[in-house]
């Protein structure tokens, strides 16, 4: 989820033999995108990106036969990211052509080109992150593994996938409840973007998360990263469909604008540092060292007040607060961390209850190895401005 590759993603290649699961819906989305007018424009104006996207999409179809399912999922997601990168490059090419033919508009075009360059850099970063995940998956899968250590690795991988699934499904539910769906005329209940279809699949995905977590809690049952990866894919699909159903077609680019705003704020921030970035949930601000015991530090209150003002000015973005620990939490610790989550949510006083949610992710998504001397970096808080539009 974070741009930096979580260590546990390298473990997902240890996928054990499980019951057959449906193809990842991300592949269906990649097929749909490949036939869109925007993709045809990419083919014409940014052919290298189109070729890379098509290659990844076809590899994803091939991976359905050769497995594991997680590889098909990552390949499909990478294809979508490459198409998105191509769209930005195509727009950049068109702007460059206009620049050559409209010298009188030089100043405005320079600003547009600068903005498009920034968008392309962010799109390229998304592609790089997906490629890193795929390389890690291939490295472990090709080697194979068995025994107690491998089972522990599979359990960690499944745990990581389930936390990601919960984050994505939570984002979808928050967006759906905060921004009512706007069904198109003639949309049937069976349409994948209808409110009824989204609600049904979201409920099913959340039930699958609960069932998978219960199975993972039983040490006698083997871990099933394949199933966890499939649930994550379902949540990712539901989030994408929710965005299509609730999107304001006249307000594109809101996420890029918000990221630019937060990046400017971070560049001039004093005291408590903040690191804005983007992932498939939306725009994310990473904060650390917020609490003195169970009480917010003064610098943390000041920074959260600034972010609350940002949230008030961007009312289309629901807010999620995600707490990550640097070690497994005991039952007693979890209650304390839940209290911290509530404290952080209360700091967003301008955000209505329907637009904010808190999650304690435990240590399921470390940024560095748990055995590393730098493992304290895994303890962090993510303030997620859930994007109401496709990224």
Place 109 in a pLDDT band, splitting at 50, 70 and 90: low
Residue 391 lies in a domain: no
Q: Does any domain span residue 48?
A: yes
Give me the pLDDT at residue 16, please.
Answer: 38
Q: What is the mean pLDDT of residues 272-294?
A: 88
Q: What CATH number is attached to the domain comprising 282?
A: 3.30.1330.60
- Shared domain for 14 and 71, answered yes or no, is yes
End-to-end CA distance of the chain: give it in Å, rounded: 14
pLDDT in tens, 368-391: 888 888 889 899 999 999 998 876
Quote the tokens at residue 88: 């930005």
Tally the residues of the chain. 391
| Residue 14 banded pLDDT, cuts 50, 70, 90 | very low
- Burial category of 336 from C-beta neighbours within 10 Å (exposed 0-12, middle 13-18, buried 19 and up): middle
Of 24-33, 48-57, 143-152, 202-211, which gets the smallest average pLDDT? 143-152
Angle between helices 69-101 and 106-143 (to 10 degrees): 160
Q: Do 96 and 172 lie in a common domain?
A: no
Its domain, for residue 52, covers 1-143
Residue finishing a domain among 97, 121, 143: 143
- Does residue 334 form part of some domain? yes
CA distances from 284 to 255, 315, 327, 335 (A): 10, 16, 22, 25
Contact by Cβ (8 Å): 367, 360: no
Note whether 2 and 122 are same-domain residues.
yes
Neighbours of 121 (CB within 10 A): 11
Q: How many structural domains compose the chain?
A: 3
At 193 the three-state DSSP class reads coil
Classified as helix, coil or strand, 376 is helix
Q: Are residues 241 and 260 in the same domain?
A: no
Last residue of a domain, one of 246, 273, 306: 246
Looking at residue 50, its pLDDT comes to: 83
Whether 21 and 37 map to the same domain: the answer is: yes
Q: Do residue 132 and residue 61 come from a single domain?
A: yes
Shared domain check, 355 and 239 = no
Return the C-alpha torsion angle 128, 133, 138, 140, nearest 10.
140
147 burial (CB, 10 Å; 0-12 / 13-18 / 19+) is exposed
pLDDT for the residue numbered 103: 54
Which residues touch 58 (CB under 8 Å, ≥6 apart)?
A: none
Let me know if 353 is exposed, middle or buried by CB neighbors in 10 A (0-12, 13-18, 19+). Answer: exposed
- Same domain? For 8 and 139 the reply is yes
Same domain as 123, residue 30: yes
Q: Is the dihedral of CA 61, 62, 68, 71 positive or negative?
A: negative
More confident residue, 375 or 309: 309
Instruction: State how far the alpha carbon of 13 is from the alpha carbons of 59, 144, 364, in Å.
Output: 17, 8, 17
Q: Write down the pTM of the prediction.
A: 0.66
Name residue, tokens 């590889």: 71
Q: Is residue 288 part of a domain?
A: yes
206 and 264 belong to one structural domain: no
Q: Is residue 292 part of a domain?
A: yes
Q: Which of 120, 143, 166 is the last residue of a domain?
A: 143
Co-location of 77 and 129 in the same domain = yes
Which residues sit opposite 383 in a β-bridge?
A: 285, 321
Q: What is the per-residue pLDDT across 62-108, written as a single tens digit (0 to 9) for each?
A: 887 776 667 777 788 878 878 877 777 777 777 766 665 555 555 55
pLDDT of residue 307: 95
Q: Is residue 353 part of a domain?
A: yes
Judged by average pLDDT, the poorest of 31-40, 120-129, 132-141, 358-367 is 132-141
Confidence check: pLDDT of 11 > 50: no
Q: What integer pLDDT is reported at residue 372 of this predicted model?
A: 81
Between 120 and 312, whose confidence is greater? 312
Please state, as a whole number, how many other Cβ atoms lie within 10 Å of the Cβ of residue 160.
Answer: 26
The tokens of 303 are what? 């920074």
Assigned domain for 242 exists: yes
Choice between 276 and 113, residue whose per-residue pLDDT is larger: 276
Residues 305 and 361 in one domain: yes
**Lowest-pLDDT choice from 54-68, 118-132, 195-209, 210-224:** 118-132
How many whole angstroms separate alpha carbon 167 and alpha carbon 133? 18
Q: Give the pLDDT band of residue 124 (cuts 50, 70, 90).
A: low
For the chain, what is the mean pLDDT? Answer: 78
329 cis-preceded (ω within 30 degrees of 0): no
CA distance 73 to 344: 33
């Amino acid at each position: 989820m974070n741009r930096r590759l979580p260590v546990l993603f390298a473990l997902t290649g240890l996928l054990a033999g499980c019951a057959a699961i449906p193809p990842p819906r991300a592949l269906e989305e990649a097929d749909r995108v490949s036939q869109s007018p925007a993709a045809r424009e990419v083919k014409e104006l940014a052919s290298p990106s189109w070729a890379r996207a098509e290659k990844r999409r076809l590899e994803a179809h091939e991976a359905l036969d050769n497995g594991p399912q997680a590889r098909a999922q990552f390949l499909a997601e990478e294809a979508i990211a490459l198409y998105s990168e191509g769209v930005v490059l195509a727009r950049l090419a068109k702007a460059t052509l206009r620049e050559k033919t409209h010298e009188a508009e030089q100043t405005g075009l320079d600003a547009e080109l600068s903005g498009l360059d920034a968008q392309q850099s962010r799109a390229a970063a998304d592609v790089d992150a997906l490629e890193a995940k795929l390389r890690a998956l291939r490295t472990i899968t090709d080697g194979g593994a068995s025994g107690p250590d491998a089972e522990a690795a599979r359990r960690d991988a499944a745990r990581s996938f389930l936390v990601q699934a919960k984050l994505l499904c939570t984002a979808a539910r928050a967006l759906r409840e905060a921004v009512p769906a706007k069904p198109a005329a003639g949309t049937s209940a069976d349409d994948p973007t209808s409110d009824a279809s989204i609600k049904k699949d979201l409920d099913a995905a959340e039930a699958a998360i609960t069932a998978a977590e219960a199975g993972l809690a039983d040490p006698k049952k083997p871990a099933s990263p394949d199933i966890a990866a499939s649930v994550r894919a379902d949540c990712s699909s539901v989030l994408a469909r929710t965005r299509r159903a609730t999107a304001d077609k006249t307000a594109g680019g809101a996420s890029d604008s918000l990221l630019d705003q937060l990046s400017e704020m971070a560049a001039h921030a004093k005291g408590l540092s903040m690191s804005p970035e983007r992932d498939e949930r939306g725009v994310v601000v990473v904060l650390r060292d917020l609490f003195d015991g169970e009480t917010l530090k003064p610098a943390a209150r000041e920074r959260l007040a600034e972010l609350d003002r940002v949230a008030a000015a961007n009312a289309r973005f629901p807010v999620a607060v995600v707490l990550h620990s640097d070690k497994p939490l005991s039952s007693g610790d979890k209650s304390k961390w839940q209290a911290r989550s509530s404290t952080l949510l209360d700091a967003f006083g301008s955000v209505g209850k329907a637009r904010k949610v808190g999650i304690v992710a435990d240590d399921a998504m470390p940024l560095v190895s748990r055995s590393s001397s730098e493992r304290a970096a895994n303890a962090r808080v993510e303030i997620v401005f859930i994007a109401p539009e496709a990224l």
